[in-house]
Chain A
Amino acid sequence: MARVILLRFVSSVVLFILVPTVTFFVQTLTPGEVARSVLGIGATQEQIDAFNHRLGLDSPPLERYFDWLRHFSQGDLGNSYITGQPVSEILGSRIGVSMSLVIGALLVYSAVGIVIGVGSSVGGRVWGRVVDLVSTIGIAIPNFWLAVILISAFAVSLGVLPAIGYVPLSESPSGWLVSLILPVVALAFGGITSVAKQARDRMIATLDSPHTGVLRANGVSEASLVFKHALRNSAGPVITVLGLNFVGALSGSVVIENIFVLPGLGSQAITSTANRDLPVIQGIAVYFTVIVVVVNIIIDVIVPLLNPKVRRSS
């Protein structure tokens, strides 16, 4: 157990250094491009040189890298090329929006996925086919297309929900909730499938196992067999899938935030990509990595704790 966490910690540190390093060297490959795209096609060579000098882009890449690494180790992610604002300041105001969206989606696909999975596991063969079918459709419908369909149905045709925009929680809790409904549903939909499938498979495996037969024959109720024993036995694999989906939803949030015009990390990522504002993109890479690392560590701690074998041996 301790070893698992230590290993995960080491690989997290590697990941934590690796992602920004990769993005850093990728961006240093094309220094002239950045100035040109920021200053526009009409910029003179002097202007470009001045720009590069001001941002230190004219010094040797390795020197810049260590310089950057020094700042990074102190928590300084640099400043935006475009606005000059500190990256952490730009992103700090946006991470709440992204987390509302991604955690909202997590709640939706966990709840719906587990209910469908557990329900279908006790519902017999017909339900199994239904889940398989819905699962395939769930994977097949791309989230951005679903988002457009949802906007078309609930915002344009019915007019019951806002098509785009975000209301901060501090401004209006109900407005916040309403503004998140469609984005959360669009983002959660693809995750429901794998959660439901995993929950169903694990539930059926447990309900078919010899220990279920023994407990049933000796008087344990069906409700307990399903909701206590089978659910408990399924928890580890299901939580692992929830974690994988969380990482997937993080990627998906970039597209969804743009569709629904939510001021989160994802829409900033696209804006900054269009502007070639590399420090901001790099900052977002760091934030995303932190989130992924934290989620993985949480799962690495929770899942073994659910298994008595691992728990007892530590």
Chain B
Amino acid sequence: MSSPVVADAQAKERFRTARAFARNPLGVAGLAFVLITSGCVVLAAQLAPYDPKAQDYSTVLSGPISAHPLGTDQLGRDILSRLLFGGRLTLLGVFEAVAVAFLIGVVLGLIAGFAGGQVDNLISRTADIVMAIPAIVILLMIYAITSNNPHYGMLALGLLSVPGICRVTRTATLAAKSETFIDVTRVIGMGRARIIFGHVLPNIWGPIIVNTSILAALTLGIQGGLNYLNLGVTPPDPSWGGMVSEAQQSLQLQPWLIVPSGLTLALTIMAFILIADAMRDATAAAGARSERPARRRKAAQPAGPVSERTAGPAVTAPGPVDGAASALLAVRSLSVAFGGQRVVQDVNLTVDTGETLGIVGESGCGKTVTASAILGSLGRTARVSGDVSFLGQNLLGVGRKARAQVRGKGIAYVSQDPMVALDPCFSVGSHLGEVVGRHDGLRAGARRARVSELLTMVGLPNPDDVAKKFPHELSGGMAQRVLIALALAGRPKLLIADEITTALDVTIQAEILDLLRSLRDETGMAMILITHDLGVVADICDRAAVMYAGQVVETAAAATVFLAPAHPYTQALIAANPIVAERGRPLASIPGSVPPPAQWPASCHFADRCLRVEPVCRSGPVAMSQAAGPGQTARCVLLNAGAEAFPVGLERPAKEGP
């Protein structure tokens, strides 16, 4: 009755975790160490060269010698034999404690996670209380009344450790419960017990094993301490902790003695920790892999082999750049690579003082990476080449200090998703005050006045109230205005705004664009707006750069882009825009999607989706060349050949998707 799909998914998941674990050498070493040590301890009677309690006064405190590879103690007892036999009570004790904690903890955790409500409440509260009990005193009590019985103490320690395992199991159960395949089994009508044992349990092993392994390590440490105090194991019976105590008595005569027992204990604890770490990584890796194909957003992730060589000189040479010498910002031949994979190639852009440039394209085209390269906010893993000149200074060549000088004062930045773009721990006033203090050196009252002024500039009424608010108390539109105020604080010459309207609803979008327009007119700053929304370009931009698969494919005045797009991709984008759609006809769309960087050809990147593709398109790299409009350039081999063949914009190159 069990759904084959569900069973299959689980089996895969389990083996994936196991395989991921097997690939971690440290985890495997830890597991091997625990297994071998346990084996040796179980076979102590066969392996040990001596009786662990046999005293031999002729060889006392020998240090490692051939007859006693790990030496002898002050009574001439063989250390190796004591270590092997001592491991019995030690590891048995750990097993007892961990087994109790595991069995009870998993059952209670499953019940709490599955039942929910009052039952969950009762179990969780009780667990909280038990967790706060100072375990050591309870253990001392138990050793006192059970005449130092080795088992009761460890069982009690197990009971006191139940809450930890219970909590982890509950959390994992809650997570597993919400997953689709559990819903499927519920719809199929399986019994609760079968759901728990057949489906939930197999899917929550990961975190439970991690925490059980950590518990084993902690238990070894606590038990070692108790044994050191001769609790649980009474001398002359050996235990690892007790042997440290014995070694301490002859510390001055034979310091070596503290090594074998303590090191064995430390290595065993470390082995359990390594198992836990590897298991945690394996669970995370397995989870990540099963999710990945569904939604992969960033093309910036390193993926696959380098599919493409740097194109010939014709392409890397700076394309025709108008007025680059006088430009506020001039980006030349900018390329960005992650892990050998180029995600932005040969980008050339210029922004003049007071000009607004829109960078348009679908997701994964490299717009944000380009902006990050200009801002200098790409991580250490990025390899950036080319030239980013701001006011004549190449920002890629300058040091950290000079770069920091530009931030906020030269180039400011407003990010997408305003709700996560402010530090949740600080108020609006504190955010703005900090940058105002940094840029203007203002203090106290003057600083507050400037903060108020900035908040007023971005159209927030009652600026003093807003300044007192924390980010979680702002709406999306307010947060976006605060971010703009933050960017304005340094009186930047260039503002880079990355998809600032995407996370907002439509009326707020229009307000924010109006605000940007009036701020630009007021302050004379230049702007780069990164967007996938052609409406934004039409609304506010002077010029547009269209990006596709890591390259700029067309630059032109905003009006030209709409009225006479030169590149087939631009034409397709415009045709696919709802604004130009005719009523009653299906909206045009571009078939396919932006390929990931690994699949970009050396020739035209758009060829595979282009309706005008010809053999020549696949023959080699394509350079930017002059198109019909003033200052219009495009990256298309057919440009001059057939400029007349696809005249102005509103022709519909694609009917609809395949």
CB pair A26–B142 under 8 Å, yes or no, is: yes
Q: Indicate whether A9 reaches chain B with its CB closer than 8 angstroms.
A: no
A136 touches B270 (CB 8 A): yes
Q: Is B375 located at the chain interface by the 8 A CB criterion?
A: yes
Complex contact A145–B266 (CB within 8 A): yes
Q: Cβ of A278: which chain B residues have Cβ within 8 Å of it?
A: 141, 144-145
Whole-angstrom CA separation of A252 from B231 in the bound complex: 15
B258 at the interface (CB under 8 A from A): yes
B228: chain A residues within 8 A (beta carbon): 144, 255, 259
**A258 and B229 contact, CB distance less than 8 A:** yes
Known A-B contacts A30-B145, A148-B258, A233-B425; the reply to A217 vs B408 at CB < 8 A is yes
Please, which residue of chain B has its CB at the minimum distance from the CB of A230? B423
Ordered nearest first, which 6 A-B pairs have the shortest CB separation? Answer: A219-B408, A217-B413, A140-B270, A288-B134, A145-B262, A251-B136
Residues of A within 8 A of B266 (CB): 140-142, 145
Please name all residues of chain B whose beta carbon is closer than 8 Å to the beta carbon of A252 when the two chains form the complex.
225
Q: Is B5 an interface residue (CB 8 A)?
A: no
For the complex, give the distance between the alpha carbons of A255 and B415 in Å. Answer: 54
Some 10 contacts from A to B, beta carbons below 8 A apart, are A18-B133, A145-B258, A149-B258, A213-B415, A217-B377, A218-B407, A269-B136, A282-B141, A307-B425, A308-B470
Interface check B251, CB cutoff 8 A: yes
B145, A29: Cβ atoms closer than 8 Å: yes
B262 x A247 contact (CB < 8 A): no
Known contacts: A148-B247, A149-B262, A278-B144. The answer to whether A219 contacts B490 by CB under 8 A is: yes
A191 to chain B, nearest CB (A): 12
Question: B421 → chain A, closest Cβ, in Å?
Answer: 5
Per-position binary interface string of chain B over residues 415-451, scored 1 when its CB falls under 8 Å from any chain A CB and 0 otherwise: 1010011111111000100110011000000000000
Could you say which residues of chain A place their CB within 8 Å of the CB of B439? Answer: 219
* Distance of A45 Cα from B417 Cα, bound (Å): 81
Is there a chain A Cβ closer than 8 Å to B269's Cβ?
A: yes
Question: Are the C-beta atoms of A289 and B229 separated by less than 8 Å?
Answer: no
> Which chain A residues in 17-69 approach chain B with CB under 8 Å?
18-19, 22-23, 26-27, 29-30, 33
Closest residue on chain A to residue B489 by CB atoms: A218
Q: Interface majority SS on B: helix, strand, loop or mixed?
A: helix
A293 and B407 form a contact (CB under 8 A): no
A273-B415 contact, Cβ under 8 Å, with A144-B224, A152-B258, A229-B426 = no
Interface residues of B in 228-247 (CB under 8 A from A): 228-229, 231, 241, 244, 247
Task: List 13 other contacts, CB 8 Å, given A144-B241, A151-B248, A211-B421.
Answer: A22-B138, A26-B142, A139-B217, A140-B266, A142-B244, A142-B266, A149-B262, A216-B377, A219-B407, A221-B404, A251-B134, A251-B135, A309-B470
Closest chain A residue, CB of each to CB of B125? A11
For the complex formed, measure the closest distance between the CB of A108 and the CB atoms of chain B, giving whole angstroms: 19
Q: A219-B409, A292-B132 are in contact. Are A312 and B421 (CB under 8 A)?
A: no
Closest to A33 in B: B145
The contact string, 1 if C-beta is below 8 Å from chain B, for chain A 223-247, is 0100011001100000000000001
Dominant secondary structure of chain A at its interface with chain B: helix
Q: Let me know if A270 is at the binding interface, CB within 8 A.
A: yes
Chain B: which residue is nearest A293 at the CB level? B132
The answer to whether B273 touches A273 (Cβ under 8 A) is no
- Give every chain B residue within 8 A of A293 (Cβ-Cβ): 132
Given contacts A11-B129, A149-B258, A270-B140, contact A224 B269 (CB under 8 A): no
What count of chain A residues pass the 8 Å CB interface test? 77
Partner of A219, one of B143, B251, B417, B435: B435
Q: Is A15 an interface residue (CB 8 A)?
A: yes
Known A214-B421, A221-B404; judge A292-B273 contact (CB<8 A).
Answer: no
Complex Cα spacing A157 to B135, Å: 35
- Bound state CA distance, A264 and B425, in angstroms? 41
B172 beta carbon closer than 8 Å to chain A = no
For the complex, what is the distance from the CA of A251 to the CA of B407, rounded to whole Å?
Answer: 51
State whether the Cβ of B357 lies closer than 8 Å to any Cβ in chain A.
Answer: no
Give the docked Cα–Cα distance between A274 and B409 (Å): 72
Which residues of B sit under 8 angstroms from A254, Cβ to Cβ?
136, 140, 225, 229
A270 CA / B225 CA spacing, docked (Å): 12
Say yes or no for B360: interface residue by CB 8 A criterion.
no
- Which residues from 144 to 186 on chain B have a C-beta closer than 8 Å to any C-beta of chain A? 144-145, 147
**Candidates A30, A250, A312; contact of B470 at CB < 8 Å:** A312
Interface residues of B in 387-419 (CB under 8 A from A): 404, 407-409, 411-415, 417
A209 on the B face (CB < 8 A): yes
Bound Cα distance from A306 to B140, whole angstroms:
38
Q: Is the CB of B267 within 8 A of A214?
A: no
Is A270 touching B229 in the complex (CB atoms < 8 A)?
Answer: yes
User: Cβ of A157: which chain B residues have Cβ within 8 Å of it?
Assistant: 255
- On whether the beta carbons of B133 and A289 are closer than 8 Å, the reply is yes
> Is B579 an interface residue when CB atoms closer than 8 A count as contact?
no
Known pairs A140-B270, A151-B251, A218-B412; A15 contacts B407 (CB<8 A):
no
Check B274 against A136 for contact (C-beta < 8 Å): yes
Q: Are B269 and A139 in contact (CB under 8 A)?
A: yes
Q: Which of B225, B255, B423 contacts A142 (CB 8 A)?
A: B225
Does B273 lie within 8 Å of A140, measured CB to CB? yes
Say if the beta carbon of B528 comes within 8 Å of chain A: no
Q: Please give the distance in Å from A54's CB to the nearest CB on chain B.
A: 20
A255 contacts which chain B residues (CB < 8 A)?
225-226, 228-229
B614 close to A (CB within 8 Å): no
Whether the Cβ atoms of B248 and A148 lie closer than 8 Å is: yes
Q: Across the interface, do A232 and B225 meet the contact criterion of CB distance under 8 Å?
A: no
A250, A259, A308: the one within 8 Å of B134 (CB): A250
Chain B residues lying within 8 Å of A298, measured Cβ to Cβ, are: none
Q: Say whether B187 faces chain A, with CB atoms less than 8 Å apart.
A: no
A137, A142, A152, A232 interface centre (most CB from chain B within 10 Å): A142
Give A220 to B422 CA distance when docked, in angstroms: 13
CB distance from A61 to the nearest CB of B (A): 14
Nearest B residue (CB) for A283: B137
